Amino acid sequence: MLILKDRNSLRFLILLSFLTICISCGKDDAPEVEDPPPSSAFGEVELIKTYGGSGIDEAVSVVEATDGNYMVFGTTRSTDGDIVGRSGSDSDYWLLKISKEGEIIWSKTYGGSDDEKATRITKTNDGGYLMSGYTTSSDGDVSGNEGFQDYWILKVDSAGTILWDENFGFSGSDQAYKAFQTSDGGYFVTGFFDVSASGGGGNDLHKGENRGVLHGVGEFWGIKLDASGNKQWRRYFGGSNNDRSYDAVETADGGFLMTGTSESVDFDKTDPKGSYDYWAVRLKPNGDLVWTKSYGGNEIDNSYASIKTNDGNYIMVGDSRSADQDVTSPRGNADAWIIKFDDNGNKIWQKSYGGSEFDTAHSIVQRENEDYILSGHSRSNDDDLLTNNGYNDAWIFLIDKDGNLKDQKSIGGSSLDYASEAIETSDNKIIVVGNSESNDKDIPLNKGSKDVLIIKLKT
């Protein structure tokens, strides 16, 4: 038994006990204190920047260049600011190469004396790029025009130098929305055209069918090109109302899946759901129809993008105002809506995302870990949305392979801000492109009425 003979001994014992406890706690508990579980870095902003002049400037698409920089594709009406070497009040394709830090490496415009509208850029296996959209010009960089708006496909090398261009159309409104290289070294183009203005033309493999007299003002229109951009075949599909393809992918058998929105209830549209539907059209490699399939509910459902998933199925994304049939979990005014289906068009799952206001998705990519990155815009600040900075924010969100929401980020100012496309880069960053009319909050600068918007996030 320890007997304390004086007050100093008592003090020493208390101090020794305290130090022993501290050392012991530090040794046993240090891993919990010093190494807490890591939190997700998704949505951490590395860069927000605007580009343009005093006019209307918009970005619609982005790809990563072979050197790790970024190729941003859009449309410009400006003749000042970041846009050099053009004049006039018309709009042109605008291609920017920007560094990882957001600095412009070079900038080029393409077009004629009338309007061009950009829709998508894709990479080709020679290190160049394929740009799609539509034009009303017949001069300058545009080699021809069949009347009003034509598909305009532009092939450029890695430096942005034009290698060839092709236009396709008739006397009506003909708008290309995506062109991409196919497994045979050629190209496929999707979009829509006004068959009522073509006199039934535009279906090279119609095999005697008199379709054009009966079909409406908008048809899915697919064009297959060879490696030099020469037409191999054209096919159109739809009904007596508006049918518009905004995306397409090559299927495993060398055929194609064209996707978009359909208002029709007849002809090729055999299973209408409501006012407007997501519509998928499956083709053989020669353009013959395999099947068509509608998805949605009674109200307006518009699909803007699609992908072939890593497991060989497909996903379509866009927005839905429906609350019945295929749409089972609506959130508000309009939701971002995703549907996954197999190669026969059979639904696998569907999900809605958003809040009480208008929310939409305009792009989707799949990551190596099977997650998906989506981009669009939102007016909500409730339910799935945490914040809203103004009238409309750019919106980027992450879901797992089963469609469960994992994380999301809204970016914008007090005015209109949109995200058109998001990609994941080779160094695991997310690059988002769109446009902005804001000049406050998340948006550092406005150069004109509408600017190209670039956002770089950590994943």
Residue 20 lies in a domain: no
Residue 337 lies in a domain: yes
pLDDT > 90? residue 442:
yes
pLDDT > 50? residue 143:
yes
pLDDT of residue 41: 63
Residue range 170-197: average pLDDT? Answer: 97
Share of the chain above pLDDT 70, in %: 89
Write out the DSSP string of 158-198.
Answer: TT--EEEEEEE--SSB-EEEEEEE-TTS-EEEEEEE-GGGT
**DSSP symbol at 37:** P
Domain hosting residue 239, numbered range? 40-458
pLDDT > 90? residue 21:
no
What value does the mean pLDDT of the chain take? 91
Residue 317 pLDDT grade (very low, low, confident, very high; cuts 50, 70, 90): very high
Phi, psi values for residue 196, rounded to 5°: -70, -20
Residue range 22-26: average pLDDT? Answer: 37
Residue 423 lies in a domain: yes
Residue 124 lies in a domain: yes
Residue 16 lies in a domain: no
**Residue among 448, 429, 364 at smallest CA distance from 398:** 364
Report CA 60 to chain centroid distance, whole Å.
8
More confident residue, 34 or 433: 433
Please write the tens of the pLDDT for every residue from 383-396. 999 999 999 999 99
Residue range 86-109: average pLDDT? Answer: 97
Residue 32 lies in a domain: no
Domain count for the chain: 1
Residue 264 lies in a domain: yes
Please write the tens of the pLDDT for every residue from 334-374. 999 999 999 999 999 999 999 999 999 999 999 999 999 99
Residue 356 lies in a domain: yes
pLDDT > 90? residue 6:
no
pLDDT of residue 441: 97
Q: Is-contact 187 165, C-beta < 8 A?
A: no
Rounded (5°) CA angle 115-135-451? 50
> Residue 36, exposed/middle/buried by CB under 10 A (0-12, 13-18, 19+)?
exposed
Q: Is-contact 225 189, C-beta < 8 A?
A: yes
Residue 7 pLDDT grade (very low, low, confident, very high; cuts 50, 70, 90): very low
Q: Is-contact 42 457, C-beta < 8 A?
A: yes
Indicate which CATH number applies to the domain containing 55: 2.120.10.30
- Run of H or E residues at 27: helix 7-34
Tokens encoding 444: 């550092």
SS (H, E, C) 126-155: CCCEEEEEEECCCCCCCCCCCCCEEEEEEE
Phi, psi values for residue 326, rounded to 5°: -75, -20
Residue 10 pLDDT grade (very low, low, confident, very high; cuts 50, 70, 90): very low
pLDDT of residue 214: 65
Please write the tens of the pLDDT for every residue from 266-275. 999 999 999 9
